[in-house]
Amino acid sequence: MEHKHIITVGDDTYIVHMHLHDGFLGGAPSRAQADVYDSVRWEKVDGSASGHSYSSGSLGGHTHEELNDDCRKPFTMTVCWRGCWDERCYPGDTEYWDGEFAKMAAVEEVIKPMLRKMVCDVNELAQMND
């Protein structure tokens, strides 16, 4: 099951898709993953509606209502219980603007406990050692 969250850090907003991976040899899931996408917050001029759209990874400043291959994904984070917590980030781009790593680190600190909780909710060994 996938969970979708809107995370705001400073002036930046991200759409985060989180899900669990199956456990080793059919055991309880021990790894959660978060795919982090840039987003743009929008609001109608009359104030009747607002929301978030995915930022395009290509030039031109386009946005997308639905997730697709053109959506910009700065990074993916995984949290895994292997007798201790193993947390990793995987970059989604080959080039980053100045200051993006600091923003990514701030987002990581917000989503890390959420991912750990997802694992603990279904894995007794992780619950006992968190």
pLDDT at 124: 81
pLDDT at 47: 86
* Mean pLDDT across 104-126: 91
pLDDT tens digits for 62-97? 889 999 999 999 999 999 988 889 999 999 887 888
- Report the Cα–Cα distance between both ends of the chain, in Å, rounded: 22
Q: Where are the domains of the chain?
A: 2-128
pLDDT tens digits for 24-55? 656 678 899 999 999 998 898 998 999 999 99
